[in-house]
């Protein structure tokens, strides 16, 4: 199993109960845990080396210019109103990240997922998004929503499988939602 910092090195609100593993469709295992501030460098590296399609589908631009502050924002969550889970392979390499971010002053959170190209079509996005639902519900969210590019048929199928609404396309973006209650 991929090592996780000792309890002494974890933020106070870190949800240790979310640490687990699962087998993907080709038989490999991925390990999942909540993101830590110490993951910022790995996250920056993943974004820097991501393929054009991944960047376009995640950030709606093929060349995002994220500052160190923005990278730290993505890695430093409160585990309640903002939560991210990372998936790593047996060698500890990052293969996917999924997150929710609350809409201010609401009981709705927006979800997003990115999976490394060589790990796609193995059920990782579906499983990670499913794993966000219980923590979101436990933290008071009643609705999850997502926005994606309409040509991202793979993520559209994931949301459909998970019971999200039919997509509404407006201003060049597709949006879906799912009630958690």
> What is the per-residue pLDDT across 19-41, written as a single tens digit (0 to 9) for each?
999 999 999 999 999 999 999 99
Contacts of 180 (CB under 8 A, 6+ apart): 133, 136, 137, 141, 142, 143, 144
CATH class for the domain made up of 14-141: alpha beta
Give the model's pLDDT for residue 67.
Answer: 86
Contacts of 109 (CB under 8 A, 6+ apart): 81, 100, 101, 102, 103, 136, 141, 143, 144, 145
> Where would I find the H helices in 15-167?
40-49, 52-59, 68-75, 124-138, 153-161
Helix (DSSP H) and strand (DSSP E) numbers for the chain: 5, 8
Does residue 153 carry a pLDDT above 80?
A: yes
Residue burial 156-165, b: 16+ Cβ < 10 Å; e: rest = bebbeebebe
DSSP 97: E
Does residue 7 carry a pLDDT above 80?
A: no
Q: What is the mean pLDDT of residues 73-99?
A: 95
User: Domain-by-domain residue ranges, the chain?
Assistant: 14-141
Count of Cβ atoms closer than 10 Å to residue 130 Cβ: 14
């Amino acid at each position: 199993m991929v090592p996780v910092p000792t309890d002494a090195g974890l933020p106070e609100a870190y949800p240790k109960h979310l640490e687990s593993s699962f087998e993907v469709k080709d038989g490999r295992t991925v390990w999942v845990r909540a993101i830590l501030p110490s993951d910022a460098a790995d996250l920056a590296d993943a974004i820097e080396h991501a393929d054009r399609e991944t960047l376009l589908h995640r950030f709606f631009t093929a060349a995002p210019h994220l500052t160190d502050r923005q990278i730290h924002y993505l890695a430093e969550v409160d585990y309640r109103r903002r939560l991210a889970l990372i998936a790593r392979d047996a060698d500890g390499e990052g293969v996917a990240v999924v997150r929710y971010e609350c809409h201010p002053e609401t009981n709705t959170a927006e979800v997003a997922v990115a999976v490394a190209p060589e790990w796609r079509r193995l059920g990782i996005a579906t499983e990670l998004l499913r794993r966000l639902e219980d923590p979101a519900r436990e933290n008071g969210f009643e609705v999850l929503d997502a926005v994606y590019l309409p040509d991202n048929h793979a993520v559209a199928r994931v949301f459909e499988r998970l019971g999200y609404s039919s997509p509404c396309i407006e201003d060049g973006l597709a949006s879906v939602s799912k009630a958690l209650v």
